[in-house]
Amino acid sequence: MLDITTILSIVISFFASTALAQDNRVVNLYSSRHYQTDEALYQGFTRQTGIRVNRIEAGEDALMERIRNEGARSPADVLITVDAGRLWRAEQLGFFQPVRSALLDSRIPASLREPGGLWFGFSMRARLIAYHKDKVKPGELATYESLADPRWKGRVCMRSSTNIYNLSLMGAMIDHLGERKAQAWAQGVRDNLAREPKGGDTDQLKSVAAGECDVTISNQYYYARLLRSAKPEERAVGEKLGVVFPNQASWGTHVNISGAGVMKNAPNREAAVRFLEYLASDEAQRYFAEGNNEWPVVAGVKTDNPVLKGLGEFKRDQLNVAVLGRNQPESQKLYDRVAWK
């Protein structure tokens, strides 16, 4: 039996949701992006269109559970989250409806959007190899595969295999190498770990800088945050590190996205599509770069971000990011087989 507090919470949520759904000058955004700088995105959209952005922010799992519980009455117009693997999970739950937009199709590369128009990538992040400058020479690590070489035994720090970034990376490895070789790679990296997997990307970078290990893998924006930090101790961490764009001589560096889709039962569909199209505008693309050190996905958009400019151009993997989600179940199986926690 539900207690009175729970009942009141459900009633309040229902009426609040109904009020949101009935206002046709808003877009109701469910977001798992927790970057303060995204506020500029929402303000820019409202300034251009007059459409107000109502936000509900939470972790990915909490948002998806909320949407499931709300069902067809959900006020959500747009779900925005990070990593194609999470967008794929939402797709599998039937959350999205297809969007046909000539603007989105022309501005967002085909490899960075779901082929049926269910979701689109709006910013790009690359999974780099980071190393301690005093312990590793430039050129010693040119590929992801090289991290499985026995020469790096006891020298590698990594996140948990259940982390979505690692699942997506494995999804790409499966596509490029096949399952047998991808599992062998996972086994090799597992054997080379300096410690059991723990922490996030920033923790891995700090571990390398502190000498707990010599190399790791991280999304580039974590590295950029350290170098752009107002805290001297964080800048000092970044300055000890060098980074490599892996696999430049083969399929290119693994990339992923932050992306969004229009919800299946969106009460404000037109406003939702306009919001997605705004995210593909030059203005919004620059916000992604300046605010969270992510690359624009739209060709030709320039950024003044000093770290991104300093990293230079690179060859990126052209694999459609939807594949990363489709390979997710098998990715976890391969990690489990090699006891990568």
The pLDDT score that the predictor gives to residue 34 is: 72
Average pLDDT over residues 2-30: 54
Number of Cβ within 10 Å of residue 309's Cβ equals 11
For 294, which DSSP code? P
pLDDT at 38: 81
Q: Cα–Cα distance between 334 and 192 in angstroms, integer?
A: 17
Q: Angle at the Cα of 34 (from 63 to 87), degrees rounded to 5?
A: 45
- pLDDT score recorded for residue 11: 40
In tens, the pLDDT along 232-250 reads: 999 999 999 999 999 999 9
Select from 3.40.50.2300, 3.40.30.10, 3.40.50.970, 3.40.190.10 the CATH code of 125-253+323-337: 3.40.190.10
Position of tokens 């992306």?
Answer: 259
Q: What pLDDT, on a 0 to 100 scale, did the predictor assign at position 20?
A: 44
pLDDT value of residue 24: 63
CB 255 within 8 A of CB 127: yes
Question: Which of 73, 37, 36, 79 lies closest to 59, judged by CA?
Answer: 79
Which of the four pLDDT bands, split at 50, 70 and 90, describes residue 127?
very high
Give the three-class secondary structure for 261. Answer: strand
Does 6 score more than 90 pLDDT?
A: no
Query: What is the C-alpha R_g of the chain?
Result: 21
**Could you tell me if 220 and 126 are in contact, meaning their C-beta atoms sit under 8 angstroms apart?**
yes
295: CB partners within 8 A, 6+ apart = 123, 124, 125, 126, 288, 289, 303, 308
pTM: 0.89
Q: Region 188-210: what's the mean pLDDT?
A: 97
User: What pLDDT is stored for residue 39 in this prediction?
Assistant: 84
pLDDT of residue 23: 53
In this structure, how many other beta carbons lie within 10 angstroms of the beta carbon of residue 43?
12
Considering the chain, tell me which residue range(s) the CATH 3.40.190.10 domain(s) occupy: 4-124+256-305, 125-253+323-337
Cβ-based burial of 55 (10 A; exposed 0-12, middle 13-18, buried ≥19):
middle
User: Comparing 29-38, 77-86, 194-203, 281-290, which segment has the lowest mean pLDDT?
Assistant: 29-38
The highest-level CATH class for domain 4-124+256-305 is alpha beta
Reading phi first (left if > 0) and then psi (alpha if -120 to 50, else beta), residue 240 is in alpha
Residue pair 120/138 in contact by the 8 Å Cβ criterion: no
pLDDT digits (tens, 9 = 90+) for 237-289: 999 999 999 999 999 999 999 999 999 999 999 999 999 999 999 999 999 89
Q: How far is residue 223 CA from its own chain's centroid?
A: 15
Backbone angles phi, psi at 49, to 5 degrees: -115, -20
Rounded Cα distance, 260 and 272, in Å: 10
Amino acid at the residue 330: E
Q: What is the percent of the chain where pLDDT is above 70?
A: 92
Residues 34-65: tens digit of each pLDDT:
766 788 889 999 999 999 999 999 988 899 99
- Of 30, 16, 9, give the one whose Cα is nearest residue 265: 30
Distance CA 71, CA 61 (A): 16
Average pLDDT, the chain: 92
Contact 257, 83 (CB under 8 A): yes
Please give the C-alpha separations between residue 5 and each of 1, 18, 55, in angstroms, as whole numbers: 12, 20, 24
Nearest to 111 by CA among 100, 102, 103, 120: 120
Q: How confident is the model at residue 302 (pLDDT cuts 50, 70, 90)?
A: confident
Asked if residues 295 and 129 have their Cβ atoms less than 8 Å apart, the reply is no
Q: Which residues contact 34 (CB under 8 A, 6 or more apart)?
A: 57
- Does the pLDDT of residue 17 top 70, yes or no? no
pLDDT at 93: 96
Read off the pLDDT of each residue in 89-118 and give the average, rounded to a whole number: 97
